[in-house]
Amino acid sequence: MEQQLELQPADYRSDIEPTWCPGCGDFGVISAITKALAELKIKPENVVSVSGIGCSSRTPLFLKNYSMHVLHGRAIPTAIGVKLANPDLTVLVEAGDGDLFSIGSGHNPHAARRNIDITVLCMDNQVYGLTKNQISPTSREGLYGSLTPFGSIDKPVNPISYMLTFGATFVAQTYAGNLKHMSEIIKKAISHKGFSFVNIISPCPTYNKVDTFKYYKDKTIDINEQGHKELDNLQKALELAMKDLEHYYNDSAKVPIGIFYEKEEPTYQDRVKEVKTKYKASKDINPQVFIDECKVLPV
Amino acid sequence: MSFSLVIKIGGEGGEGVISAGDFLTEAAVRSGYHVVNFKSFPAEIKGGYANSTVRISDEKLYSTGDGFDILCCFNAEAYAYNKKHLKPGTVLVYDSSDFEPEEHDGVIMYPVPLSDIAKNEIKAYITKNIVALGALVGLFNIPVESLKDSIKAKFSRKGEKIVNMNYQALEAGMKYVKENLVKKDGFEFPPPIGLKDVVIMEGNQAVAKGCIAAGCEFYAAYPITPATSVGNYIVEDLIRKDGWLYQAEDEIASLAMAIGASFAGVKAMTATSGPGLSLMSELIGYAGMTETPVVIVDVQRVGPATGMPTKHEQGDLYHAVYGSHGEIPRAVLAPISVEDSFYMSIEAFNLAEKYQMPVIVLTDAAMSLRAEAFPTPDLSKLNIVNRLIYKSEEDKEQKFIRHGRFLRYALFTEDGITPMGIPGDPNAIHAITGLERQENSDPRNRPDIRTYQMNKRFKKLEKLLEEDYDRFIEIDAPYKDADIGIITWGLTASITKEAVQRLRSRGLKINAMYPRLLWPVKEDVFEFFAKSSKRILIPETNYYGQLATVVKDRTHIRPISYNIYRGEPFIPKEIEDIVDFLMENQEITEGRFTPEHVYGEKAYGLI
């Protein structure tokens, strides 16, 4: 038997060079994803990366695994289809804040509340980059965009508190400027049995001149290090989450990163298994049976 | 035809009107006859007018006829709805404990106190529908043993007591008729000739059974009238087969999930109606662009917007053929009957899998609620097609691998079909994307690559026309120089078949063509058919004449289109009438016509 060589992060990178601008936070994210997959020893052929449309949604094309670069907003339902068809696959959604919290936001609650065992990585740069600078649902008030030359007058959404209330069983935030933290969080998110959501603050150096690496450098604070250890306490998680956007309004406020919430609960697939056991499900059943059930039989 | 009887039962929803129709349907099948049953439910969840029309015959018929021979009314409302159709020679059986009808010239009336018999003799009002069946047995000689067997088959689970109570109700109805009424009509059910090996299915059930027979393992559903029951019928079969039905949050999600499941290697589908199909448009394009097999069933209803959700229309053909931006290879199938719905659903998967593209199946609200008995399908005799999957060991020269990358969109295959890689296989790792891309899935904007990839995708349709098209086209053209050649599709084709029989029996030379595959179009087949007829008529239940438009677009044929869009299917008589109208107006060779042309102002009186 040939000895199985250790998997390296590079084994998960395709030979397509990323098309991102120099200095984009997403370079860090892709390093964290490949590092996490290598450390978890998940074979590339058993990973399916699914994305929508946007700068960050190109990620699957730069990875060497099975990839679906889908339509704007439709990464999550597509990923659900993959997972239900083959539960043995590791299914990742790699998408942006526009994809996940604007056009595709209607899919989030249902994937979360059903605890479908997929990992959603939101690369949150608080801006639409691929269409060249428009405000996104996570943009801070006052941010300039080409369609809001007067500065945004919209309140931003809070992805963490959204996902917590939708019933996600793993919710975390990390930062593209901290590779170690990012890969550790992504590892935990993938390992979590159930629906996991990670918001990754991933600055856009081209169109968001406010929420930059420089801005976040000393802003982040690791909530787990700071004593948030009771991870299955939803109340506490929500309290912390509500502070997530405070820094937009208060210069001295910090940006919380780390695991907000983690709870082991039966996954959708666990429940499907129970149902199938009741029905004595079997691939071997001849479908002629289903036809014959419509027969008119002598009584 | 030698024997045909149409019995319509009407009454309050929940009074057993529909189940009375079902018992009658099954009894006819048990007696060895052909049967078509059409049900109409009230729009309300509870109460409201419901009816069931059962047509029994000794040869296969294609419609529920022009009207009823026998009307059985459980209440005054059902009578009010139907009284204008009480023509001389028809029969009215009614609940005389509920109401008294007006005088109708030439209509034979049989009053039967249905409610009183059920309440007073059987002590169970719920058996009113069975009392009514008893009356029909007594009056028209419906084989009572067949009816009893149908009742037993349905109620035996509930115990002997329930079965016997229903038998008593049946006999009470028969007894009343025998003792109190004198038969004045000529309708008579012939003696039973024996149960054959048949199934009874409703339209949506046939779709469900066809899809499961084709190997469907994943179904994403979002509730929508009148498509929901495809899901109702398939859900438990799917689970037993170790598949799954997922109720999605909307139709966009449904199709996205089906595409995801298909990418992961299983046969996947969704079913919807017009509004859902509109929402799915973008993803239909994605499935075509990424060459992912998927089946979408559209049980058409009256559109646009919310339209008339429970009513029949053939209004989605444009959307099925042209919907979604850009251009993709796709196939559009339209079964013409319930039996056909079963087989066309299998064909939909076969075409989707073979050509790696979306296939849309168009049925409609009327077909969805129509029940037919047809010979039990034998799956061992059916051809089930599976997609071409990449196998490294068969690719000795590693043609599909370049610089370590799997060429999902290789350009060197002759027919444009390239093997799919399935997640889990280390040798076929690849991406799919809605962006134009080169052979290894890398996005590219280059004009040459764009052109080659477009050609690759559309080559698949050329192969389809070559290898698979002809079996979908039914041509019934006995005349070299027919007066009129009718081309039509879907449920209208079934109804037209009966009209064609009648027209021919009157000496008219009528040819007919019933395409089940509406897209792509093989021009030669249409034009060859058209040569056999002086004029081409395309009747459809939509405003524009959507098949007529496709025919005009793809061929040199300039048809006469005949359109109704009132939310109901044609009746055979209407097809006869438009043909007669055209025979009287030989100068008409093309254009769009409606009932106003044929009937003048009276047109609305028919509705």
- The domains found in chain A, sorted by start residue, are 9-266 (3.40.50.970)
Average pLDDT, integer, range A207-233: 97
What 3 state SS string does B291-308 have?
CCCEEEEEEECECCCCCE
pLDDT, residue A2, reads 47
Given B198, B200, B283, which is nearest A74 (Cβ)? B283
The distance of B230 to chain A (nearest Cα, Å) reads 14
ipTM over 0.95: yes
* Residue B42, pLDDT above cutoff 80: no
On the question of a common fold for B4-196 and B202-381, the answer reads: no
Average pLDDT, integer, range B149-173: 96
CB count within 10 Å of CB A276 equals: 16
Query: CB distance A106–B264 less than 8 Å?
Result: no
DSSP B377: P
Domain B4-196, architecture per CATH: 3-Layer(aba) Sandwich (3.40)
* Residue A109, pLDDT above cutoff 70: yes
Q: Is the peptide bond before B304 cis (omega within 30 degrees of 0)?
A: yes
* Residue B606, pLDDT above cutoff 80: no
Q: Which residues of B touch A291 (CB under 8 A)?
A: 199, 209, 213, 376-377, 379
Domain boundaries, chain B: 4-196, 202-381, 392-467, 473-606
The amino acid sitting at B459 is K
Which of B241, B281, B436 to probe the A interface (max A CBs under 10 A)? B241
Average pLDDT, integer, range B233-250: 98
Q: Write down the CATH number for the domain with range B202-381.
A: 3.40.50.970
Given B213, B430, B433, which is nearest A291 (Cβ)? B213
Domain B473-606, architecture per CATH: 3-Layer(aba) Sandwich (3.40)
CA dist A254 and A227 (Å) reads 15
pLDDT, residue B607, reads 47
pLDDT, residue A1, reads 44
Average pLDDT, integer, range B552-577: 96
CA dist B171 and B35 (Å) reads 24
CA A278 to each of CA A271, A281, B13, B524: distance values in angstroms, whole numbers, following the listed order? 11, 8, 34, 54
pLDDT, residue B602, reads 74
pLDDT, residue A4, reads 58
The distance of B58 to chain A (nearest Cα, Å) reads 18
Residues in chain B: 607
Q: Which residues of B touch A68 (CB under 8 A)?
A: 260, 263, 431-433
pLDDT tens for residues B450-471? Answer: 999 999 999 999 999 999 999 9
B541 contacts: CB under 8 Å, gap ≥ 6: B312, B313, B314, B315, B491, B492, B563, B564, B565, B568, B569, B570
* Residue B223, pLDDT above cutoff 50: yes
Average pLDDT, integer, range A280-284: 97
pLDDT band at A3 (very low <50, low <70, confident <90, very high): low
